[in-house]
Amino acid sequence: MVDRCFNNSDGDFLIVPQQGEILITTEFGKMMVEPNEICVIQQGMRFSVDVFGETRGYILEVYGTNFELPDLGPIGANGLANPRDFLCPVAWYEDRQVATGYTIINKYQGKLFTCQQDFSPFNVVAWHGNYTPYKYNLKNFMVINCVAFDHADPSIFTVLTAKSTRPGVAIADFVIFPPRWGVADHTFRPPYYHRNCMSEFMGLIKGHYEAKEEGFQPGGASLHSMMTPHWPRR
């Protein structure tokens, strides 16, 4: 993105690199985001992306609300994604004139608009507050799962949630199934055949997914639409 940037006026972007690191420049500073990290660009923030070779990943967009940490409830004060592990940029700016024009691409109500200006939009010298872009390394996720029977709801793997007005049903949950130690060694406790009131989109960053070891490669994805019966194949 040479001499151009993007601005989403409709909602938040959650970006999940799967292959290749990306350098994201924002009005708040720069973030280098690598596979196994995620970043969130909140509504209205201008940003550009630089890549360094073959790059791919996933992007989730939500409307009408912002991502936040899930309520821990009986888990207590610690567990899942801890606030201390989220990083935001250090202020950085460039005072640069662009004779050929700097292009701003704005997404507004589902449509794209462009305008040009003769200077870089990343000329913000300093900022304060907590409405910022941020990133998180998924290796810092504290897994909670020790069961005597049954299959725990996947909500215990929620990193970030975008809440709705309906209790128990989010607009979107970002959930991960990271490497973890199962106390029931040499066993697999599959979830029963079930249906969900939320659609499940599942992508693989690295390694293999224990319930679909064959035919589900890094960079791939599957979709279980809401109320579609499904269960892991093993």
* Confidence (pLDDT) at 183: 64
Contact between 220 and 207 under an 8 Å Cβ cutoff? The reply is no
Per the annotation, the verdict on 151 as an active-site residue is yes
With contact defined as beta carbons under 8 Å apart, do 46 and 26 qualify?
Answer: yes
Distance CA 26, CA 209 (A): 34
4-63+85-138 has which fold? Jelly Rolls (2.60.120)
Domain boundaries, the chain: 4-63+85-138
Tell me the residue ranges of DSSP E strands in 42-164.
Answer: 46-51, 56-63, 86-87, 97-108, 111-119, 134-137, 158-162
Q: What is the pLDDT of residues 72-131, one digit of tens each?
A: 888 888 889 999 999 999 999 999 999 999 999 999 999 999 999 999 999 999 999 999
Question: Position of tokens 């292009």?
Answer: 103
For the chain, how far is it from start to end, CA to CA, in angstroms? 43
Among residues 128, 151, 208, 224, the one annotated as catalytic is: 151
Using 50, 70 and 90 to split pLDDT, how confident is the model at 162? very high
16-48 pLDDT, tens per residue? 999 999 999 999 999 999 999 999 999 999 999
Average pLDDT over residues 144-167: 81
pLDDT value, residue 155: 83
- The residues, any chain, with a CB within 8 Å of residue 170's CB and separated by 6 or more, are 161, 162, 163, 164, 198
CA angle 22/28/31 to nearest 5° reads: 20
Q: Looking at residue 208, what is its pLDDT?
A: 81
Identify whether the C-beta of residue 134 lies closer than 8 Å to the C-beta of residue 84.
Answer: no
Burial class (CB in 10 A: 0-12, 13-18, 19+), 9: exposed
CA distance 202 to 60: 12
Numbered residues of the known binding site for homogentisate: 209, 230
CA pair distance 190, 48, nearest whole angstrom: 42
pTM, 2 dp: 0.90
Residue 174 parent element (H or E): strand 172-175
Amino acid at 108: Y
**Are the C-beta atoms of residues 93 and 56 closer than 8 Å to each other?**
no
